Each structure stands twice: as C-alpha cells, then as structure tokens.
Chain A
C-alpha cells in the first residue's frame, strides 16, 4: 500500500484524462497509474457516471404554444406580411406552420356529425389560445378562406385586425354559437391576434364573438 490518503487526488488531471486531452502516450501512462490507485478509479467512475447522466437526459418536446410563437415570429419577417394578397401565393412558413400544428396537442371536444373535412370544435373562451395554437397551419375557415371576404369581414367587425396575416383558422362552436376562429400574426415577434367571428361574416358585416391577443 503506497497510497497516501492525505494527498488529494488530482481530479483535474483525471478529468482531462477522461476527456481525452493528453496525447496517447501520456494518457496510457496516466491510465496505468490510475489503475493502481482506487481513489483515481473512483474519480474516473464518477466522471463516467456523470457523462451517462447527461446522455440520459430525454430530448424535450417543443411545446405547441412555443412552436406557434416561433412560427408567428418567422411569419412576421415576411416583407409582405401585412398585405392582403391573392391566395395564389401562400404563407412563406406554410410548411413549418403545418408541421408545428400537427405537433400541437390540445384537448378539445369534437362534435358534429361525421363528414368529410375537419370536425367543428366546441370551445370555451378559456380554450381559445390553446385552440388557436393548434390551429396554426390549418385553414378550415369556410368562406373566410377567400382573402377578400376575410378582409372585408375584419374591416367590418375589427378594423385594427384587417390586413393582419392569417396563420391558420378553424370552424368552432363558441359558447354555443357557430363561429370561425382566425389566428392572425400581429407583426410583433411571437404576437398572435386570435379573432372569432360568425361564419357569415363578410362585406355585409358580421359579428365578433371573441378576441384574444397573445404576446
């Protein structure tokens, strides 16, 4: 036993060895020395366990609300973001938005008879932001898919939202009334304007059922 417990074990040198810092010859020499010192072996084990702990961290899921914020922020970078354009040219982040929306998981109650197309969602006011997050990238807004009609509707019921870029939307039933939820980019990074109007909203006017701004 030539151990000398009073001598502190050289953790930095062992950590360097563990990190493959010394050249091959020096590393071999240090490893040989470490094998004869239980305290050195203990340190190397501890470093190895630490690396294993780090590697075992699960990959975190991107929260849907965060994904929606990013999508809105990227959408806000588009130079034509606030223009009301013909539907021929779609959102620059359409693909991103669609994928992010697919990843979004929101608890909602699905009602309505089974039929082709997305179901109508019954939502409460407290659900609006969550539903809006999940709706990003989905365009199920009935007649309001027509940009001209949508803009006319917004001009009629909520002029300050007219011209905002549409990120997505869903048909919903809100407080027992049918409606169309529109997710609009406010133009500020991550900002969303969630507007719910009646399905017949258009040039002749309409009804604003709810509005929630995010960010």
Chain B
C-alpha cells in the first residue's frame, strides 16, 4: 500500500511552506523535459545547461509568485522558454543563428547536391527565427498540443499555428524537402 506521489502543485505548495525536499522532487520530475526544450531551442549544450539552471533557480525563487492560473508544469516550461529566448535576444549564445535570406540553399537541380546540402534537423532549427523556432520545438519536437504551447508562450492559439506554419515552411527548405523556388 503506497501513497500516490504528490502532484506538482502539492510539491510547489510544500516548497513554499518550507519543505526542504519538495523543490528538488519537482525539478527532478521535469528536468529531462526542460533540458530537451532548452537544447532544441538553443542548439548548444552549454547554453542549454545554463538556461535550465537559470530557470530552476528562478523558479525556486519565484515560487511564491505562482498563482495557479496555469499548471505548474506549464509554468516551469514557460520559465525555461523565456530563459532561452532571453539568451538568444541578448546574444548570450555560443553561436550565431542568423541565416540571411540570400544564404538559403539556392536552386539545385542535381538531387545529389541537394541531398548533400541537407542540414541536420538540429542545425536547421537553429537557423529559424527564434519565435518560430520555439513554437516548432514545443509543438512538433516536444509534441505538446497547440493550446499548451499557447499557454507556455502566453499568446493566442492562432499565433502559435501561424509561427509553426512559417517555421515549418522555412525548415522544409533548409532540410531539402522543398525547393526554394517554391517559397
């Protein structure tokens, strides 16, 4: 007869009440997922590690501000996503991601050449504008419902769909699935 594990909300409440172990349990429960989000968004493992660390510390400190209008899980994801976006916008990332339009793969009639120029998915993601990239990471890579992505990003569902649409179109070219002249 074992007790059910505490919910995320119960753990956060316990942390706020001074439970010494509660935040550790909460962080452990979500660390793998938060790592995946950060790594896919930032591309660089060191940047991702920094971003998640920042986010965990921030969540630890801001636990008292959590109002319960979203799931704790959503709140944690949001803090990580914001940490990633902040790093990109403030150029605190280890590699630059801009991909000027003129540098997009040009018309390549030779399929072999086209194949060679295909980019790894992770590399291609890094070349997509950050807002589109985050939406694609959440919906297509992480597999979250669009509504959850919208809650994480605090934007309308339609905006998430629009960002995904533009991001996928760009990625389709970068990955060699779509010729640039089609764009």
B-contacting residues of A (Cβ < 8 Å)?
A: 8-9, 11-12, 15-16, 18-21, 39, 42-43, 45-47, 49-51, 53-55, 57, 59-63, 66-67, 69-71, 73-74, 77-78, 89-97, 99-100, 189-190
Q: Which B residues from 18 to 48 make CB contacts under 8 A with A?
A: 19-21, 23-25, 27-28, 31-32, 35-36, 39-40, 45
Select which of B20, B136, B158, B165 is within 8 A of A54 by beta carbon.
B136
Majority-rule SS of B interface residues: helix
A-B contact pairs, 30 of them (CB 8 A): A8-B182, A15-B165, A15-B168, A16-B161, A21-B165, A49-B172, A49-B175, A50-B178, A53-B121, A53-B175, A54-B171, A59-B36, A60-B35, A62-B35, A63-B45, A66-B52, A67-B31, A70-B27, A70-B49, A70-B52, A73-B53, A74-B24, A78-B20, A91-B20, A92-B19, A92-B24, A93-B23, A95-B28, A96-B23, A96-B28
Q: Interface-forming stretch among B56-64, B69-77, B103-111?
A: B56-64
Tell whether A51 pairs with B21 under 8 Å between CB atoms, given A19-B168, A66-B35, A190-B53: no
Total number of B residues with any Cβ neighbor in A under 8 Å: 45
Complex formed: what's the CA distance from A90 to B183 in Å?
Answer: 59
Would you call B35 and A54 a contact (CB within 8 A)? no
- A-B residue pairs, 8 tightest by C-beta: A96-B24, A93-B24, A92-B20, A19-B165, A54-B140, A46-B177, A15-B165, A46-B178
